[in-house]
């Protein structure tokens, strides 16, 4: 159990398993995430008992200033052990790739809570960038929905592949000529150009990120 899997499982609403609890008790960041989740659920229940306040939706969409860090030492060690076939990460991290990592650490949970979009609508808006059929040949789509990112609208995808899970941020309006990459706090990110726009790929294992990026490029 690593931090990213803990947060995603927690948000699935199936309760906290013994393995998750053991991880949380040893991880300050996940302890904070657990308390925040419980507080959110409590606030949500209270909110359903009264009329929705004016501007509530807008406040939910505002980015939260988060100071705590997410430590993924086990995932980082796994990425290093992968060695052959992983990225040769650049010494200078790219700002856009770093922004993708920052989204996963600070905003992914909120994005999942906001709910998914209908598959037919996702297929329509992504047809020219990254068709769903292509994604589904790579892995199983666990979540897909629009989200504010980098001053525009991106499409947030959680993709389950045989080696684990990765987060995709599909950016139809962000054009790149070449790939970009970054590593921060045990998470690895690659940003690759698409037919229209680009896609950011974030995961805890460099080899998995590299494999998904390669499959998307075809």
pLDDT in tens, 97-144: 999 999 999 999 889 988 899 999 999 999 999 999 999 999 999 999
CA distance 80 to 86: 8
Is 83 a residue whose pLDDT tops 90?
no
CB atoms under 10 Å from CB of 74, counted, come to 14
Residue 179: the pLDDT is 83
Is 73 a residue whose pLDDT tops 70?
no
For residues 86 and 3, the model is more confident at 3
pLDDT in tens, 49-63: 545 555 655 655 554
Q: What percent of the chain has pLDDT over 70?
A: 74
CA distance 127 to 37: 34
The pLDDT mean for the chain works out to 80
For residues 217 and 215, the model is more confident at 215
DSSP annotation string for 104-144: HHHTHHHHHHT-PPPHHHHHHHHTTTS-HHHHHHHSEEEEE
* Weakest-pLDDT range from 6-20, 83-97, 202-216: 83-97
CB 113 within 8 A of CB 12: no
Name the token pair of 78.
């796994």
Region 153-181: mean pLDDT is 92
CB 60 within 8 A of CB 54: no
CA distances, 63 to each of 71, 74, 139, 166, 173 (Å): 21, 28, 29, 22, 21
Is 69 a residue whose pLDDT tops 50?
no
Domains and CATH numbers, the chain: 3-61 (no CATH), 73-217 (3.40.1000)
Q: Predicted confidence band at 41 (pLDDT cuts at 50, 70, 90)?
A: low
For residues 7 and 195, the model is more confident at 195
Q: Predicted confidence band at 190 (pLDDT cuts at 50, 70, 90)?
A: very high
């Amino acid at each position: 159990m690593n931090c990213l899997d803990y947060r995603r499982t927690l948000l699935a609403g199936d309760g906290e398993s013994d393995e998750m609890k053991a991880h949380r008790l040893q991880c300050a960041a996940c302890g904070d995430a657990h308390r925040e989740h419980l507080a959110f659920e409590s606030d949500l229940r209270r909110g359903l008992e009264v009329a929705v306040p004016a501007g509530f939706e807008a406040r939910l969409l505002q980015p939260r200033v988060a100071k705590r860090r997410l430590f993924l030492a086990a995932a980082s060690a796994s990425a290093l052990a992968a060695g052959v076939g992983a990225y040769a990460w650049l010494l200078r991290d790219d700002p856009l790739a770093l922004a993708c990592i920052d989204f996963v650490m600070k905003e992914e949970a909120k994005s999942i809570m906001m709910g998914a979009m209908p598959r037919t609508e996702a297929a329509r808006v992504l047809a020219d960038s990254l068709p769903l059929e292509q994604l589904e040949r790579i892995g199983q789509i666990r979540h897909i929905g629009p989200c504010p990112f980098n001053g525009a609208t991106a499409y947030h995808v959680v993709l389950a592949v045989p080696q684990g899970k990765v987060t995709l941020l599909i950016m139809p309006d962000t054009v790149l000529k070449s790939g970009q990459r970054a590593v921060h706090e045990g998470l690895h990110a690659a940003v690759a150009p698409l037919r229209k726009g680009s896609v950011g790929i974030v995961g805890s294992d460099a080899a998995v990120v590299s494999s998904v990026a390669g499959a998307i490029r075809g």
